[in-house]
Amino acid sequence: MLVRDAMSTLVLTIGPAHTLRQAARLMSARRIGAAVVHDPDTCGLGIITERDILDAVGSGQDPDTETASTHTTTDVVFASPTWTLEEAAEAMTHGGFRHLIVLDGNGPVGIVSVRDIIRCWAPAKRRPAELTL
Q: Residue 105's pLDDT band (boundaries 50, 70, 90)?
A: confident
pLDDT over 70 at 126, yes or no: no
Q: Are 32 and 24 in contact (CB under 8 A)?
A: no
User: How confident is the model at residue 16, as a pLDDT?
Assistant: 95
Q: Are 29 and 14 in contact (CB under 8 A)?
A: no
pLDDT over 80 at 129, yes or no: no
Distance CA 93, CA 91 (A): 6
The model's pTM is 0.84
- 57-93: pLDDT as tens digits: 999 999 999 999 999 998 899 999 999 999 999 999 9
Residues in CB range of 107: below 8 A, 6 or more apart: 45
What percent of the chain is predicted at pLDDT more than 70?
A: 91
- Indicate the SS3 state at residue 43: coil
Task: List, in sequence order, every residue forming a beta bridge with 44; answer none if it has no partner.
Answer: 39
Using alpha carbons, select from 49, 39, 53, 47 the residue that is nearest to residue 77.
47
Using alpha carbons, select from 75, 95, 108, 94 the residue that is nearest to residue 4.
108
Q: How many other C-beta atoms are found inside a 10 Å radius of the C-beta of residue 15? A: 15
